[in-house]
Amino acid sequence: MSKIGVFICHCGENISATVDVARVAEAAGQLEGVAFSTDYKYMCSDPGQTMIKQAIKENGLNGVVVGSCSPRMHEPTFRKACQEAGLNPFMCEMANLREHCSWVHDKSEATTQKAIDLVRTLVEKVKLNKPLFSIQVPVTKTALVIGGGIAGIQASLDIASAGHQVILVEKDPSIGGHMSQLSETFPTLDCSQCILTPRMVEVAQHPNIKLMTYAELEKLEGSIGNFKATIRKKAKSIDEDLCNGCGTCTTKCPTKKIPSEFNTGLGMRTAIYVPFPQAVPNKPVIDKENCSYYQKGKCKVCEKVCPTGAIRFDQEDELVELEVGAVVIATGFDIMQPSGFPEYGYGKYKDVITGLQFERLASASGPTLGEIRRPSDGKIPEKIVFVACAGSRDPAKGVPYCSKICCMYTAKHAMLYQHKVHHGKSYIFYMDIRAAGKNYEEFVRRAIVEDEVNYIRGRVSKVYEENGKLIVKGVDTLLSAKPVEIEADMVVLASAAVANPGAEALAQKMHVSYDSYNFFSEAHPKLKPVETNTAGIFLAGACQAPKDIPETVSQASGAASKVIILFSKDELSRDPLIAVVNRSPAPVFSTCVGCFMCASACPYQAIGEELITNRQGKVIKKVAKVNPGLCQGCGTCVAFCRSKSIDIQGYSNEQMCAEVIALLNHE
Amino acid sequence: MTEFEPKIIAFVCNWCTYAGADLTGTSRIKYAQNVKIIRFPCTGRIDFMLLLKSFGEGADGIIVSGCHPNDCHYTSGNFHARRRWIMFRGLLDMLGIDVRRIQYSWVSAAEGFKWADIVNSTVNTIRELGPYTEYEKVAGYLEKEANQ
């Protein structure tokens, strides 16, 4: 006989403001099989959980329905409470009265009625729940980190230092990411490479880190604790064991006029190249699309000059399969190309550049060796105009969100310029100054007060060239509200930070959620900011949303600690909500007829054959059998089964049917 | 006479649409009370006999919603559901069920607004179509089939 306990939560006022909770509890109490029903202000609080535990013990409950928030929020909390009171945790279900009812409807009779309907539905379901037991699976204590920017570097170092193996995969020839391109960093103005490159070297030398550069994730299968990743190692056309990084090939390569990605097109590189002098690993790759030998079949200069004979023109992409227990995604961000804003003249005038290009101009390792010079004629600019929010906070043509880092780096750019060109004048057109962060506001003040950067609150309407000058037309919306015109030598656009172009495809390969901007979604915006919806996959850095370096590093360490927690046990428990093929007494054994439609539908190859034999060992029936280690519980097989012989625990045919009937039938 | 309040049942997957509907709640976007959600692990799990069962039990409309193509948490469950839906919609006419009574859609975990839109537009469609009164006939037919 069912003895169900129903617990309705007020969630402070979140539910009780629009739902008559007392009446829901009362109506639930009238349902057949409900032995106990009550409501309370905060069910998830300690007294709330104690109330559930006591009710289970005192009333001998064999099922619990908690009507509160989304099960995605507190299902583990309440299942644990049930377990502590001696009830099987899978005998607890949650009715979502907050996200699916009280928050989306106004206070009315219909809202309360809906809450009652939802509770009744789950009461009918829980009556059919069966005690289930978690599945123990071994954990592969190797982490896969995707992306070798500062986020990936930090996460790798933390996990590796805790004693676990790490495989760091980077798509470019060197790790370092965007941070290696930056000149100085706000708000301390310490040199980006000076603080980054030691970390890069540490990664290369760490005994627990295996670095795979010029490689990308091809496929990810499996689940938490036991993923199988396939990595495509793109052909570098060199033998890495033989190459000693002497650099002769890169100096002798005759194809020298390729715009360097690292220098954002402001400098040139050769076809066989190392992206930048401090690259890790410091070994070249051949860019096949620009190499004369690959394109025209002639040249091979690098092969001739290489002292160790390390050039391999016949090298092919290699697919490597790896067993990993957890994945950290740290693929970073990209800069929106401001070509969608013709009024700024980017692409038309050489001296209109992006913020990232300015970083390269200001960097000591950059194409101008740190001198601020115009890309067009190499002159030192006397006046620079910086345009903040060039694409950010612009729902019409750019992105609606704030890119977060631009206010700070624009202040930094103006400051660096003033430090290098003392007589120069800098102007910043801005919408708002968003300088929330430790020492950030002070930094912006310093730019204004000490370095005399002119902040103009207003937008730029047009940039055009006249007599070798860039005329910037804008408006000053403060005090005067007058049009402003500045004759500038250079214009720097703080273009929006956007998701990487490959982010969507990567998310689909890994089955993690992503938002409408293609940034990866965290499992919970506040309480699970580094987890994804897919267990065992974590996020670090700007692949989730635009972030500055301190925030990225913190999140990377957060993700690393989640991986380390996962690796702290040899086995982990998995929800037993998996498919099972029924069994019955002889002579039927199972209603399964062995058509194996289920096996063809299963995305995990989790369904195999089982031979049922008689006492003489003769095979009398062949039926399907689910491998509980592989089954992920999607239930596709259940919908396919013609004889209804396979069913999924926790979402069984009987339970779903009971839910449908209960939901639709009320007086 | 009071206005007809359609009874609509929503079959949604746990990973995309259920989470999307949670986001609708977190964002406090209002929608009609008529739609009530049943959670499935994946749209691939949804046995379309359950849709017929719902009509048999008095539903006026149904929403089936899961992850966008290629976004399935289980790789391909939503493709199976989509294929099943294409087959199934051909049968609805024969059973005397208006195809418009079933709204098949994709709502991701980030599309809180879309979920509210789908709910409201489905409620409006079903309101226009009126109550589904053929269900007794369908239920009777299914019962007869089952007894044979």
As a whole number of angstroms, the distance between CA A544 and CA B26 comes to 19
| B79 touching A (Cβ < 8 Å) | no
Alpha-carbon gap: A154 to the closest alpha carbon of chain B (Å): 28
User: Hey, are the CB atoms on A601 and B80 less than 8 Å from each other?
Assistant: yes
In CATH terms, the superfamily for domain A142-234+317-332+500-571 is FAD/NAD(P)-binding domain (3.50.50.60)
- Which residues share a beta bridge with A625? A608
| Longest alpha-carbon distance in chain B | 51
User: Hey, are the CB atoms on A634 and B41 less than 8 Å from each other?
Assistant: yes
Task: Note whether A314 and A229 are within 8 A (CB).
Answer: no
Alpha-carbon gap: B63 to the closest alpha carbon of chain A (Å): 13
Q: Give the pLDDT confidence score for residue A222 in this predicted structure.
A: 85
User: Hey, are the CB atoms on A660 and B31 less than 8 Å from each other?
Assistant: no
Indicate the CATH number for domain A4-134. 3.40.50
User: Hey, are the CB atoms on A104 and B30 less than 8 Å from each other?
Assistant: yes
Parallel, antiparallel or unpaired: strands A333-335 and A497-499:
antiparallel
* Chain A contact probe: residue of B60, B74, B101 with most A CBs at under 10 A: B74
Q: Work out the percent of chain B whose per-residue pLDDT is above 70.
A: 96
User: Hey, are the CB atoms on B110 and A514 less than 8 Å from each other?
Assistant: yes
Which residues lie below 8 Å from residue A573, measured CB to CB, with a gap of 6+?
A134, A135, A136
With vertex at residue A548, the alpha carbon angle to CA A542 and CA A550, rounded to the nearest 5 degrees, is 110
Q: Give the pLDDT confidence score for residue B133 in this predicted structure.
A: 83
> Is the pTM for the entire model greater than 0.80?
yes
Number of Cβ within 10 Å of residue A432's Cβ equals 11
Alpha-carbon gap: A1 to the closest alpha carbon of chain B (Å): 25
User: Hey, are the CB atoms on B38 and A106 less than 8 Å from each other?
Assistant: no
Alpha-carbon gap: A342 to the closest alpha carbon of chain B (Å): 32
Alpha-carbon gap: A246 to the closest alpha carbon of chain B (Å): 45
| A605 touching B (Cβ < 8 Å) | no
Closest CA to A360 of A352, A370, A345, A351: A370
Task: Note whether A476 and A485 are within 8 A (CB).
Answer: no
User: Hey, are the CB atoms on B76 and A70 less than 8 Å from each other?
Assistant: no
Containing A33, the helix (H) or strand (E) segment is none
Closest CA to B50 of B142, B126, B118, B124: B142
Q: Give the pLDDT confidence score for residue A308 in this predicted structure.
A: 94
Kindly report, residue by residue over A2-42, the tens digit of the pLDDT: 999 999 999 999 999 999 999 999 999 999 999 999 999 99
User: Hey, are the CB atoms on B45 and A511 less than 8 Å from each other?
Assistant: no
* Chain B contact probe: residue of A99, A223, A401 with most B CBs at under 10 A: A99
Kindly report, residue by residue over A520-553, the tens digit of the pLDDT: 999 888 888 999 988 899 999 999 999 999 999 9
As a whole number of angstroms, the distance between CA B49 and CA B54 comes to 9
SS3 A8: strand
Q: Give me the residues of A, 483-522, that contact B with CB < 8 A.
A: 507-508, 511, 513-516, 521
Kindly report, residue by residue over A367-426, the tens digit of the pLDDT: 999 999 999 999 999 999 999 999 999 999 999 999 999 999 999 999 999 999 999 999
Which residues lie below 8 Å from residue B64, measured CB to CB, with a gap of 6+?
B10, B11, B12, B43, B46, B51, B81, B85, B102, B103, B104, B105
| B57 touching A (Cβ < 8 Å) | yes
CB pairs under 8 A between A and B: 145
Give the 3-state secondary structure of A390-459. Answer: EECECCCCCCCCCCCCHHHHHHHHHHHHHHHCCCCEEEEEECCCCCCCCCHHHHHHHHHHCCCCEEEECC
ipTM, two decimals:
0.92
Domain boundaries, chain B: 8-134
- Asked whether residue B1 carries a pLDDT value surpassing 50, the answer given is no
Q: Give the pLDDT confidence score for residue A625 in this predicted structure.
A: 93
* Chain B contact probe: residue of A636, A641, A645, A646 with most B CBs at under 10 A: A636
Which positions of chain A have pLDDT values less than 70? Answer: 667
Q: Give the pLDDT confidence score for residue A66 in this predicted structure.
A: 96
As a whole number of angstroms, the distance between CA A280 and CA A616 comes to 66
Whether A142-234+317-332+500-571 shares its CATH topology with A579-648 is answered no
Alpha-carbon gap: A104 to the closest alpha carbon of chain B (Å): 4
Containing A659, the helix (H) or strand (E) segment is helix A653-664
User: Hey, are the CB atoms on B22 and A638 less than 8 Å from each other?
Assistant: no
Q: Identify the CATH class of B8-134.
A: alpha beta
Q: Give me the residues of A, 129-188, that contact B with CB < 8 A.
A: none
Q: Identify the CATH class of A579-648.
A: alpha beta
Q: Read off the pLDDT band of B138 (50, 70, 90).
A: low
Q: What are phi and psi of A41, to 5 degrees?
A: -60, -50
Indicate the CATH number for domain A335-498. 3.50.50.60
As a whole number of angstroms, the distance between CA B104 and CA B101 comes to 10
| A527 touching B (Cβ < 8 Å) | no
Alpha-carbon gap: B91 to the closest alpha carbon of chain A (Å): 17
Q: Give the pLDDT confidence score for residue B139 in this predicted structure.
A: 64
Domain boundaries, chain A: 4-134, 142-234+317-332+500-571, 248-305, 335-498, 579-648
| B138 touching A (Cβ < 8 Å) | no
Containing A482, the helix (H) or strand (E) segment is strand A482-488
Q: Give the pLDDT confidence score for residue A630 in this predicted structure.
A: 81
Q: Give the pLDDT confidence score for residue A667 in this predicted structure.
A: 53
Task: Note whether B65 and B107 are within 8 A (CB).
Answer: yes
